[in-house]
Amino acid sequence: MKQPRFRPVLTPGGFAISVIAAAVLLRSLLARNPYEITLSSVMLLLLLVLGIIGWWKSRKLAALEAGWKPPFPMTANAGGETLVSGLDTNIPMFFRLHFKIRGRFFPVGNLHGCRVLAEVSVPRGEASARIPLDFPVSGVFQGGGFCRLCDVFGFYSFPCGLPQHRIVKVRSAPCFGRKLHINAHAGAEDRRNKHSTNEERYYMREYTPGDRFRDINWKSSEKIDTLITRISPDNQEKVSRIEVCFRNYGPVNKTSLEALWLLDRAKARLSHFLRSLKEQQSSYIFDVRAAGGSWEIEDEEDLDAFLEELAGFSFSPPQNDMPPSLDKAAPHGAGNIYVFSTACDAGLSGFILACNPRPVSLFLVQPVKKDSVKRTEIETLYIRDFLEMGYIPPLLRFINRRVKQMGAHAGSVETIYAETKL
């Protein structure tokens, strides 16, 4: 986003005051009213002095480079603030330095964005400030931050400093689902086991959580009063591969806010699934498929990179997605398939049927029927949060085009309910 070349330095209030003062002066000169002449002249003189001082100082601050550092990772609805630093400069009396953020936010990666406006006044003598910048849902923010030199009366706003452009991916707010228990045979497995009876081929290291108890060398542990684990370089533990399908299929054009919220909750449930299982067993490897491609997640670094991409995922046009069991490129053909989808996915039932005979664990985000679910089990997005956080969504987003519930049958189904309200 490029900053416009020209922005008026007079604020709407300053412009109105200047016009009124000029009109009063002209009228008082014609009527020869000394009181009105004095009052209007003083007002115009004050505007002139403030304008000269502000213009001169803004020229001095043309090279000011403020450090705008959004938090990483940026999470929706977290009440976070963005740090702005490098603002240690002398400001004339009756002036304050303001930092503004202006751009567009694309909720859940949708093509139609909403305007974002945020501003903070830097206290005199401070070198940094924090500007509230929060997002109600996941998505992508594209915008810029820039400084303005404003007088305390609100008459002028002079541009100064160098603009800072950013593209920020916003991750979904946490979704705390049921605790998962995945056994070692739930996914496809890689086994590379070699047997060794030669004690010299083992080496020792200090015990870490997750090591097998049968590998603890109790004799050595008793001598040094520390748990020591016996490790063989020729024996490799079983590594479980877990296949995950994230079906972000749905309406691309005229997407309602409710549909976007359903997709956001599906992202949140997937994030919780991957993180919780990775914490349970770090050796799990995830093969994730979505409309945008496929990913292999082996460690925390891979997981963070995928979650950053996931933040920008939106709906993709429906298509015939081949199940992993029928995909010739899929090297693993046994075990559960974990599917994450929404009520907007028209091809979900056919996909689950095509996965037969492999078991499918489905995580489905559904809209809420009236009085069909306990309020404590519903995740709600309030449309007023957009306005309260400084976002101006297109008017069509306020039209509540309802999404119908859909039925889906799988080996196991976990339903997440979500709704939008004013």
- Beta sheet of 129-132, edge-to-edge order: 67-69, 81-85, 129-132
Residue partners of 59: CB distance under 8 A and separation at least 6? none
Query: What integer pLDDT is reported at residue 329 of this predicted model?
Result: 42
391 is written with which tokens? Answer: 């976002």
Query: Do you know the residue count of the chain?
Result: 422
Query: What integer pLDDT is reported at residue 257 of this predicted model?
Result: 84
Query: What integer pLDDT is reported at residue 134 of this predicted model?
Result: 86
pLDDT grade for 88, boundaries at 50, 70 and 90: confident
Cα torsion 276, 279, 284, 285: sign: positive
Query: What integer pLDDT is reported at residue 369 of this predicted model?
Result: 76
Query: What integer pLDDT is reported at residue 193 of this predicted model?
Result: 42
Q: What three-state secondary structure class fits 362?
A: strand
Cis previous bond, 324, omega within 30? no
Which residue did the predictor score with more confidence, 211 or 399?
Answer: 211
Digit-coded pLDDT (tens) for 173-192: 988 666 666 654 444 444 44
Cα–chain center distance at 59: 36
Digit-coded pLDDT (tens) for 50-77: 999 999 999 999 889 888 888 888 999 8
97: Cα within 13 Å, side-chain hemisphere? 28
Query: What integer pLDDT is reported at residue 45 of this predicted model?
Result: 95
Which residue did the predictor score with more confidence, 283 or 158?
Answer: 158
Whether the per-residue pLDDT at 114 is higher than 70: the answer is: yes
Query: What integer pLDDT is reported at residue 381 of this predicted model?
Result: 86
* Range in 101-110, 268-277, 303-312, 382-391 the model is least confident about: 382-391
Q: pTM score > 0.85 for this model?
A: no
Query: What integer pLDDT is reported at residue 67 of this predicted model?
Result: 84
Query: What integer pLDDT is reported at residue 372 of this predicted model?
Result: 64
Residue partners of 223: CB distance under 8 A and separation at least 6? none
Query: What integer pLDDT is reported at residue 195 of this predicted model?
Result: 42
pLDDT grade for 42, boundaries at 50, 70 and 90: very high
Whether the per-residue pLDDT at 364 is higher than 60: the answer is: yes
pLDDT grade for 408, boundaries at 50, 70 and 90: confident
Query: What integer pLDDT is reported at residue 253 of this predicted model?
Result: 78
The angle formed by the CA atoms of residues 332, 314 and 373, to the nearest 5 degrees, is: 90
CA torsion angle 347 353 358 360 (round to 10): 50
**Average pLDDT estimate for 282-303:** 90
Query: What integer pLDDT is reported at residue 179 of this predicted model?
Result: 64
Whether the per-residue pLDDT at 355 is higher than 90: the answer is: no
Query: What integer pLDDT is reported at residue 342 of this predicted model?
Result: 93
Expressed in angstroms, the distance from the first to the final Cα of the chain is 30
Beta strands in 247-333 (DSSP E): 285-290, 293-297
Closest by alpha carbon to 277, among 214, 353, 385, 187? Answer: 187
Digit-coded pLDDT (tens) for 203-262: 677 776 656 667 787 777 777 777 787 765 544 445 578 999 999 998 887 788 888 999
